[in-house]
Amino acid sequence: MAMATRKRPGPRAARIAPSILTADFGSLADVARRLEAAGADDLHLDVMDGRFVPNLTFGPVAVEAIRRATHLPLDAHLMVVEPDSLTNDFAAAGVDSITIHAEACPHLHRTVQRTRALKTKRGERMRVGVALNPASPLALVEAVLDDVDLVLCMTVNPGFGGQKFIEAVVPKVRALRHEATRRGLGNLDIQVDGGINVDTLAVTRKAGANVFVAGSAVVGAADWASAISNLRRVAR
């Protein structure tokens, strides 16, 4: 079984995390291998339950197959109504990071603590992220900012790839980076996800994001390696 061997670079280094949502689901292991070869930093796995969002994707069994195919860190984005019922299974399946939606957690502080307490398949502490939908305010995550490794500011309404970037989220990214700096949270990753391409990456990078999820901008491109290196060039 391939295990993630890449150590995370220093704080706030730019990372390109292709999403497999718009890839060929008939060959996810091959997609994972090809994205690793194309220079991805992480693999973004969009888990959807058909209830939190109007779409249904894959579960821990598919993630196990992807885990066997790549050394990349697996970044699970749980767009599900009851994340607490699934985090253990995704940890056992081999993910390295789990992002839950603040909107899906009535007891967000407890869910963050539970997820942080999980171990990855390599025996390391699970990285934990919290996601905010485009219309959700930063206030939803203020009480857990010191406990998470990542905040995901959704730049589309979750559920589908290939949607248009929502400009109105940019001030939220800027305010979040400002707050993280104020608190001395230099290692906090700010991830943006949805409609990310070279133009919108430049805007969100300037606002303070440093992890960029790109689905159609990468897997929809003819040459995945040049799509990733173009994104990385802009992210520098």
Active site residues: 46, 193
**How many residues bind to ligand DX5 according to rule CB under 6 A?**
21
Find, among 128, 134, 103, 95, the residue nearest to 114 by Cα. Answer: 128
Q: Is 46 in the site for ligand DX5 (CB under 6 A)?
A: yes
Question: Measured between alpha carbons, how far is 55 from 70 in angstroms, rounded to an integer?
Answer: 26
User: In the numeric block, which tokens belong to residue 224?
Assistant: 């995945």
Which C-beta is closer to ligand DX5: that of 14 or that of 185? 14
131 beta partners:
101, 152
Q: Which residues lie closer than 8 Å to 171 by C-beta, 6 or more apart? A: 207
Burial of 201 (C-beta count, 10 Å sphere; 0-12/13-18/19+)? buried
Sign of CA dihedral 50, 194, 39, 27: positive
Task: Tell me how far, at minimum, the Cβ of 23 lies from ligand DX5, in Å.
Answer: 10
Q: Is 44 in the site for ligand DX5 (CB under 6 A)?
A: yes
Instruction: Decide which of Zn ion, ligand DX5, none touches 216; Cβ closer than 5 to 8 Å per partner kind.
Output: ligand DX5
Which C-beta is closer to ligand DX5: that of 21 or that of 209? 21
Q: Is 41 in the site for ligand DX5 (CB under 6 A)?
A: no
Instruction: Decide which of ligand DX5, Zn ion, none touches 22; Cβ closer than 5 to 8 Å per partner kind.
Output: ligand DX5
Contact positions with ligand DX5 (CB under 6 A) in 161-200: 161-163, 193-196
Site string for ligand DX5, 13-32 (x = CB under 6 A): ------x-xx----------
Q: Is 193 in the site for Zn ion (CB under 5 A)?
A: yes
Question: Measured between alpha carbons, how far is 64 from 220 in angstroms, rounded to an integer?
Answer: 24
Q: Which of 95, 158, 180, 190 binds ligand DX5 (CB under 6 A)?
A: 158
Return the range that interacts with Zn ion (CB under 5 A); candidates 30-38, 40-48, 63-71, 87-95.
40-48
Contact assessment for residue 21 and residue 56, using Cβ atoms and an 8 Å cutoff: no
Phi then psi for residue 12, to 5 deg, are 60, 15
Question: Measured between alpha carbons, how far is 123 from 110 in angstroms, rounded to an integer?
Answer: 22
Question: Measured between alpha carbons, how far is 16 from 44 in angstroms, rounded to an integer?
Answer: 9
Q: Is 15 in the site for Zn ion (CB under 5 A)?
A: no
Which C-beta is closer to ligand DX5: that of 129 or that of 215? 215
Positions touching Zn ion (CB under 5 A) are: 46, 77, 193
Positions touching ligand DX5 (CB under 6 A) are: 19, 21-22, 44, 46, 77, 156, 158-159, 161-163, 193-196, 213-217
